[in-house]
Amino acid sequence: MANHSQKVWFITGSSTGFGRSLTEAVLQHGNRVIATARKPEQLDDLVKQYPEAAKAVRLDVTNPHEVQTAIQSALDAFGQIDVVVNNAGYGSIGAIEEISDEAIRRQFETNVFGVLNITRAVLPILRQQQSGHILNLSSVGGLVAFGATGIYCATKFAVEALSEALSKEVANMGIKVTIIEPGAFRTDFNGRSLAKPDQLMDEYKAVSGGFLQWLEEMDGKQPGDPDKAAAAMIQVVESDNPPLRLALGADAVGAIEEKLKSMQAELDAWREVSVNTAFEGAEIAAIGG
């Protein structure tokens, strides 16, 4: 069995949603947590309840100085970091043409560069320890893009690629990587954490307006339970053989299955065109092999 001894978790975006549920679950599980948030005072109740195990630290993942300070705070408090959870992020809704350049860059700064900032800063520690587990919060939208979610999904597709590559780069260093792909969960994603275009274009109202209406109608009725998602993430960390990807929710599993079927059907339909693009007699080797 895996070693289930007390671990030190470093969790971003801990004040609400998945981050809050996971922070609570990890503490209840007997582990220690550096719980980071842009407003760490929102975690005062947990620090008071678990004074020896919980430490709240201010962190804006887009600020490299705050990243270094937060990681050093973890080392000063507990001497190590065993699990890193890149959870901080938010969603942008709108057609590709509707979202401003500024909003697009801001979305990538948080959802992609924020993940990179944390990951690149903590890797030297994990490499020195020759152990650690990185959980990167993606989404079903990291594998399946829906209309009116192109910018958000692009950030999560990027997280998927970075995580998959990283898993191969650190596999021989005792470091594990898991991508978490939730479907619709009852967090504040549909509300406070959602960025919308200043104005919907008439040409896209059926797509963007329809998706926003669906999100509004679903708010508070999402089938996913964040506490059960937290339990699933802890189970992954305690596993001897954790997955590279973990879909959360029947809706996520169903959407990913449909995407895989569609890709396979299209690959089969166009296989002859695809493979007949090599020089005559060329030797075909696996990419990266």
pLDDT of residue 192: 62
* pLDDT band at residue 128 under the 50/70/90 scheme: very high
Reported as a single tens digit per residue, the pLDDT across 203-237 is: 999 999 888 888 888 777 887 899 999 999 999 99
Helix axis angle for 64-78 and 114-129, nearest 10°, is 30
pLDDT in tens, 145-163: 999 999 999 999 999 999 9
Provide the pLDDT confidence category of residue 144 given band limits of 50, 70 and 90: very high
Q: What is the pLDDT of residue 213?
A: 83
Residue in this structure with the two tokens 């109202």, named with its chain if needed: 205
Residues in the chain: 289
One-letter amino acid of 52: E
Out of 18-27, 221-230, 258-267, pick the least confident: 221-230
Q: How much is the pTM? A: 0.94
Amino acid letter, residue 54: A
List the structure tokens of 28: 């209840």
SS3 of 103-156: the string is HHHHHHHHHHHHHHHHHHHHHHHHHHHCCEEEEEECCHHHCCCCCCCHHHHHHH
* Per-chain mean pLDDT for the chain: 93
CA atoms of 241 and 219, how far apart (whole Å): 35
Q: Are 278 and 284 in contact (CB under 8 A)?
A: yes
Give the per-residue pLDDT at 191: 59
pLDDT band for position 2 (50/70/90)? very low
Q: How confident is the model at residue 194 (pLDDT cuts 50, 70, 90)?
A: confident
**Contact 233/17 with Cβ under 8 angstroms?**
no
pLDDT tens digit sequence for 58-92: 999 999 999 999 999 999 999 999 999 999 999 99
In the predicted model, is pLDDT for residue 200 greater than 90?
A: no
Give residue 182's pLDDT: 96
Q: Are the C-beta atoms of residues 93 and 215 closer than 8 Å to each other?
A: yes
- The residues that are catalytic are 138, 152, 156
Q: In the predicted model, what is the mean pLDDT of residues 34-55?
A: 97
Q: Are 144 and 88 in contact (CB under 8 A)?
A: no
pLDDT at 49 over 70: yes
Please give the share of the chain, as a percent, with pLDDT higher than 70. Answer: 96
Q: Under the phi-then-psi rule, with left for phi > 0, alpha for psi from -120 to 50, and beta for the rest, what region is 210?
A: alpha
Residue 249 has pLDDT above 80, yes or no: yes
Set out the domains of the chain in order of their start, with CATH numbers. 8-249 (3.40.50.720)
Provide the token pair at 130: 């020759």
Q: What is the pLDDT of residue 3?
A: 43
